[in-house]
Every structure is written in C-alpha cells, then in structure tokens.
Amino acid sequence: MTKVLTDARSIRLKGRSFLAVVLSPDLPVDQWLVRLDDLAARSAGFFLEKPIVLDVTDLPIERAQLKHLIGELAERNVRIMGIEGGRPSLFEPGMPPAMKGGRPASDFEVAAKEPAAEELKTSPESTATLEPRPESIVAPEPPRPVLQSIVIREPVRSGQSVIFPEGDVTVIGSVASGAEIIAGGSVHVYGALRGRALAGSLGNGAARIFCRKLEAELLAIDGIYTTADELSPDLHGQAVQLWLDGDAIKAQKLI
C-alpha cells in the first residue's frame, strides 16, 4: 500500500546562539579536578543547568584521558554539550560532539529597548531563522543597535541569572544569595552583593566589579575566581571595587 502525502509542510529550522560556560582543563587532569571541586564547593550549583563546552585546544590529551575526564565531570553533575579544539582521533560514538566556530560577542543580539530583569533569566539568543522555502527568498532584517550596558531596576532574587555578554550590568538594588550576574563588561551593584558576580566573562581583563556592600558568594573577572572570604576581612560588608591584576583579583574600599 502506497501512502501519499497530501499535506506537505516545511520543517522549520532555527539557528540560535546560547551563552555557554567554557572549561579549559590543564594537565594533570586529577589536579585540575581538585581545583574544580574547590570552585564548586565555594559556589554550590554554579554548573547546574548550564551548557558546558570543554575546550581541549592544544591540550596533549589522549582519547582514554578525555573519556576519563568527561566521566569525572559527569559524576560532578557537569554535563558536557560539546568539545572544542579536539583532533578527530579523540572522538568516538557516544561522546559529546566536536564544536568549532564559536565567536564570543557577535553571536548575541540584544533588543534596542532596555530589557527587564525577568527577560534576562536566560541567555540571549540570535534571531536568525532558517526555513527551507525554495519558492521565496526573504531579505535579512537590518542589524539592531547593540547596547553597551543595561540597568536592572529591581533586586535580583535568589535563583535568577542576569546574563549580558555585550557590556556592563548595573543593578539598582541588591543581588541575593543564589543569584548571579554575568557581564561581558563591568558589574555595578548599588546594594548588597550576596550572590555571584562574573565580570569580563568573554575575556575582558579590564572589567571591574563595584558594590555598595560586599557579601558575595563568588567573584570572577576574566575567568579568575575568588570569594569575599578570601579577601581582607575589613572589606566584608563595605563598599568595594575589585579589579584584575595579573592572575589575582585585587580589592579596595570605595571612598
């Protein structure tokens, strides 16, 4: 019996860009995992429900070592969505796929209006759409103006994430414990910073973190991490600015 398709419909395909956390392991892997465990202990839940890319570019690692690393990460609830920079001989069926072509900032478009805090709980996504319709060609939309900063006019509650890879994030209020701010530029908090603040998330070592009251769970600038407990005790609860000096985060009180 021949089945005739009488209602042909196109399959809609969409291209999207998501902000992923990139892990770049070092050898020996076991020592790197110890440092990862330390980070996870200082900021519980940091890797949960986040897309993770494993970057092994120029890393002299063999397939067995890579499989061991992926297994160790899975035991820590770190799920790898793809592997970047791996040579073909590293891959076998069942492993995360190879990824390439990631571009830090240009993958993301932000609307010309000021986004509300609720709209920033998830990563920005591109608006490119692929629809296989050979009978027509749709002209691309003109590029939207790109914001260099956003202002969140309310407190960021526990469990919320504000992710803005294009520039600075300013919060008019506090950032609760369990909340996080991830900015491509600097982070400004005009209240208590009790959650996590990650500035320079796409490789901006000149980014800074400013807050009215420092009580943070985790602080990071350009991938270098610290906690408020590791800073000078006299900074706790004070108005503070933090910046990157080489491979260390420096801090001082704001006058």
The better pLDDT of the pair 124, 152 is held by 152
The strand ranges marked E within the chain are 13-14, 21-23, 52-55, 80-84, 98-99, 129-130, 149-152, 161-164, 168-171, 180-183, 187-193, 196-199, 209-214, 218-221, 224-226, 240-245, 248-253
- Judge: domain 147-253, CATH 3.40.50.10490: no
Which part of the chain is CATH 2.160.20.70? Answer: 147-253
Of the candidate ranges 27-31, 135-139, 171-175, 213-217, the one whose mean pLDDT is the lowest: 135-139
Task: Give CA–CA dist 82/55, Å, rounded.
Answer: 9
Mean pLDDT calculated for residue range 154-178: 91
Of the candidate ranges 22-36, 107-121, 130-144, 147-161, the one whose mean pLDDT is the lowest: 107-121
Q: Mean pLDDT score of the chain, rounded to an integer? A: 78
Q: Are 180 and 197 in contact, with CB atoms under 8 Å apart?
A: yes
Q: Examine the pLDDT at 105 and tell me if it is beyond 80.
A: no
The pLDDT, as a whole number, for residue 17 is 62
Q: In what order do the strands lie in the sheet with 149-152?
A: 149-152, 168-171, 187-193, 209-214, 240-245, 248-253
The better pLDDT of the pair 100, 175 is held by 175
The pLDDT, as a whole number, for residue 189 is 96
The pLDDT, as a whole number, for residue 79 is 86
* Span 74-93, pLDDT tens digits: 888 888 888 988 888 888 88
In order of 23, 25, 37, 38, 39, the CA distances from 32 in angstroms are: 11, 6, 9, 10, 11
Task: Give CA–CA dist 189/171, Å, rounded.
Answer: 5
The pLDDT, as a whole number, for residue 206 is 93
Q: Examine the pLDDT at 161 and tell me if it is beyond 50.
A: yes
Q: Examine the pLDDT at 36 and tell me if it is beyond 50.
A: yes
The pLDDT, as a whole number, for residue 131 is 41
The better pLDDT of the pair 73, 14 is held by 73
| Structure tokens that stand for 217 in this block | 């769970």
The pLDDT, as a whole number, for residue 101 is 65
The pLDDT, as a whole number, for residue 212 is 95
A 10 A CB-CB count for 63 gives: 14
A 10 A CB-CB count for 71 gives: 9
Mean pLDDT calculated for residue range 21-46: 81
Which part of the chain is CATH 3.30.70? Answer: 21-99
Candidates 3.30.70, 2.60.40, 2.30.29, 3.40.50; CATH matching 21-99: 3.30.70
Of the candidate ranges 51-55, 140-144, 237-241, the one whose mean pLDDT is the lowest: 140-144
Mean pLDDT calculated for residue range 220-249: 89
The pLDDT, as a whole number, for residue 102 is 61
